[in-house]
Structure 1
């Protein structure tokens, strides 16, 4: 029966698993590429002078840090995207429970779904990671950051490591999402799917507060610690606060919801929807806040250094820093879009009912755009706070200044990129979902 449930879920909701598949493919590419680049540097056949130059460049240490960062990001974001995908199956899980499926059988079916997505995604992602690592090493060589003798060689640990991380994180995320619908009475689960719970558990809130507080304390310690280690430690400080913001996401989104009421009746409807869907949308906050905070910290570190010293950083250093940052930001951005699309696709029936009771396609789309605006504002605000708490102590330790510097042009580009990203994950799939008549949509999504 578990195998049948798995096949049925994958057949009925292929688009719900498309997002996790893409995310896990990129995650496998990230992990395998970082491992391949690191092992290629450590195993390169270089003469003593070239080996010393490579060691003094600090790039091998950076590659090792990339591996660690990749593992943490992959485990976190893969788990989140799979959680969002399984969560939308709450109604189906309740129905199979009503006809006799045991909680254990449901959990096995959910685990099989996670594995069915993660394994092929990883197998496809590892070769992509090899291509990315080869291109990155070629870029480092071309910019003179590492000796020409360093060439890419695949790592034998890439596939097993990527499989272990993506499959493990996917299983954990899927099983966490299935805990409540598999455990509660089917009637209660169906009621919750029709009217989502708005209350946030005390445990979730407490974990969020502890993580954010831990990040703040860590940032204070970094300000008073060794400046040479500030860059390495700051990532984990930022990660703790971003994950904490994800746990507190429903509270943060509900705090932002009243802003939508300033835009009249449509804004009020968007605010009500956001308050009800805050828990589902909070899954997109972690990758969004990570992308914003990570990019802001890296850009501010560079622009402030140039502003304080009055001289530009070496091109090789700038390329190395920004290329690594671009990969992580792109990964988090894709994960955020996938999560937003998954949440939106779960609302196709809701959008169809809204149109049946008199709302025009444009009115429904405007409501979705209003929700997207509130998600954008929340992500920008939280991401900026996380970035400032992370980067200001780090800049003080490294440069002796408490004032980060960011040109207006780069700030405008960053805000526009976040707005475009959220609209891509909400308004575009809403347009696609509302192409067909409302009655037909209800027939497809009963």
Structure 2
């Protein structure tokens, strides 16, 4: 029966099959790339410094791919479960008839689970080869944005076949499980008449899930300001996920209310579209659900990333007491008119913790600084001397204990960590070292950045000309703006890799919901036409309805994204003393335009296709 049901109503299941296939492809690609980055071995012939830089980059790539994998699993589970639930809901009359002719509740559940199993296997079969293309695209993006070196590619592993098939089946069965249980519990006469439990859109499960995820989002918002720069940023960036699920859980209540205030226009078509939105709450909520998640994740996380970058730059501007920034490869020497010059030499390094089987290594960024000059320029007291080192503003290093540090060209051995400077929103080096600790030969290849403060009354032009003999000179404000532009560019690249394919997947989920909804509305459209409406009027009414639901989805997605923005304001205020919020208005407008265009075109095509046959033929047909 499961095979026969799939064959007979294949138009309803195309969207579910596509959702499973794309979900498997996205999960498979992210997992293979993560394993490939974690096991990547730099090619021979590189210097030790280059190998350390590549190792540090692949470590960051692994962390980023971990986020991508988590997001892929979340989106796949959400879109697939939403699509399957909507598919089952559109068949409630057929399932009721099956119960009336003798089918038991268990048989209905087994029928739906059997269909999900078949769709999971078929989707995984399509998703595995599609995942290879997705992996190639993701790897190209990572190389293009310099997160991994040239030549990096995702490596195929045979065991991924089992993981991909298991993922497809698990996501499909889990997605239909709750819907199957609910469909089996509804009394058949209530389903046919759409009364009682069949007419109830806010089930106990929806209420419980909505309240739980709302509580999770609220907890993250409350705790984020106390997590410091690293923990606070991570928690704020994760608020949009539970917030969007909470809003989706309450979507059957919220979408019709918001959609009804959208401008439908007057006349019969506006009234018809408004009535459809009000009466078809399940359909409206199902179309809006992927859109809510798309807006919440893309807008919320992008705005959060841009806001944290802006907060870090503002913090640097307030705490850095300098007039010029000089780029070069060594100290400035004596320059008339310079009061203080903090020359900071940057090197990649490798920290080792523990002994024996507990030994762990990680790449770090190291700054060799003069403690007095560093304190004068950055306003942070630093005590350095002998072999003592200090945990830097980038964090990730304990403020006490002993670490083993290896730099390009040599191992510095065991070093005592005697303190830490405050961590900052802008990050920075993980470890600060005194000048005499690193041999001059190892410092020869270090890049230098000198923050220069002038004496009162000094001739800025003359001092700038003298400093230019060492390297490029920038005003502090210009350097900060350039640094902010670089951070924004990096942030956009990370967001594109993390959310780009996921956002496209969520948008496909919106299309699936519209297509599934239109496939079951042929009789409804026919009834509207026999009452006097033309084919064009029916299509325009469906288009108005789609635009209203899309507008509601955008508003509710922005509401979920607002939870992340509240966490951003609280975290930046707690860490830097100033609440900072930067909204990516071009992205917001772009997402809204794409959503309206895609839903409008999909509604236009599907409703035109659904009204192709003569209405009398559809009404006379018996299925």
TM-score where L is the length of structure 1: 0.90
For 1:252-267, what aligned pairs fall within 5 Å after superposition?
252-260=254-262, 263-264=265-266, 265-267=268-270
Offset, 1:231: 4.5
Residue from 271, 294, 298 that aligns with 1:295:
298
Greater displacement, 361-370 / 81-90:
361-370
Higher strand share: 2
Offset, 1:200: 2.5
Match of 1:436 in 2: 613
Greater displacement, 397-406 / 105-114:
397-406
Offset, 1:223: 2.9
Distance 1:183 1:407 in 2: 46
CA contact (8 A) 1:208 1:243 kept: yes
Q: Does 1:8 align with 2:8?
A: no
1:21-52 deviation per Cα after TM superposition (whole angstroms, max 9, x unaligned): 11111100110000010011112222665553
Match of 2:287 in 1: 284
Match of 1:243 in 2: 245
CA contact (8 A) 2:240 2:301 kept: no
Match of 1:168 in 2: 170
1:33-74 deviation per Cα after TM superposition (whole angstroms, max 9, x unaligned): 000100111122226655532443311111122222222222
Using a 3 Å threshold, how does the CA distance of structure 1 residues 324 and 204 change in structure 2: closer, same or farther? closer
Offset, 1:178: 2.7
Q: Which runs of 5+ in 2 are unaligned?
A: 314-480
Distance 2:138 2:596 in 1: 29
Distance 2:94 2:608 in 1: 25
Offset, 1:127: 2.2
Greater displacement, 267-276 / 311-320:
311-320
Offset, 1:235: 5.0
Offset, 1:354: 0.9
Offset, 1:313: 2.4
Distance 1:93 1:65 in 2: 40
1:123-164 deviation per Cα after TM superposition (whole angstroms, max 9, x unaligned): 221222222223322332233222235332013443323332
CA contact (8 A) 2:99 2:188 kept: yes
CA contact (8 A) 1:392 1:402 kept: no
Offset, 1:283: 2.3
Match of 2:548 in 1: 374
Distance 1:271 1:404 in 2: 36
Match of 1:221 in 2: 223
Residue from 269, 277, 297 that aligns with 1:274:
277
Using a 3 Å threshold, how does the CA distance of structure 1 residues 429 and 22 change in structure 2: closer, same or farther? same
Match of 2:507 in 1: 333
Using a 3 Å threshold, how does the CA distance of structure 1 residues 377 and 229 change in structure 2: closer, same or farther? same
Match of 1:74 in 2: 76
Runs of 4+ in 1 over 6 A off after TM superposition: 193-196
For 1:22-171, what aligned pairs fall within 5 Å after superposition?
22-46=18-42, 49=49, 52-57=52-57, 58-148=60-150, 150-171=152-173
For 1:183-198, what aligned pairs fall within 5 Å after superposition?
183-192=185-194, 197=199
Higher helix share: 1
Offset, 1:300: 2.0
CA contact (8 A) 1:337 1:424 kept: no
Distance 1:183 1:32 in 2: 35
Match of 1:233 in 2: 235
Offset, 1:330: 0.4
Match of 1:358 in 2: 532
Offset, 1:175: 3.2
Offset, 1:254: 2.6
Q: Does 1:313 align with 2:486?
A: yes
CA contact (8 A) 1:6 1:112 kept: yes
Match of 2:582 in 1: 405
CA contact (8 A) 2:511 2:598 kept: yes
Larger radius of gyration: 2
Using a 3 Å threshold, how does the CA distance of structure 1 residues 223 and 443 change in structure 2: closer, same or farther? farther
Using a 3 Å threshold, how does the CA distance of structure 1 residues 388 and 313 change in structure 2: closer, same or farther? farther
Distance 2:198 2:259 in 1: 17
Q: Does 1:419 align with 2:596?
A: yes
CA contact (8 A) 1:372 1:423 kept: yes
Distance 1:69 1:290 in 2: 11
Distance 2:208 2:176 in 1: 22
Distance 2:117 2:150 in 1: 41
Using a 3 Å threshold, how does the CA distance of structure 1 residues 393 and 263 change in structure 2: closer, same or farther? same
Offset, 1:404: 2.8
Match of 2:522 in 1: 348
Offset, 1:350: 0.8
Partner SS, residue 100 of structure 1: coil
Match of 1:383 in 2: 557
Q: Which runs of 5+ in 1 are unaligned?
A: none
Distance 2:539 2:568 in 1: 43
Offset, 1:346: 1.5
CA contact (8 A) 1:209 1:248 kept: no
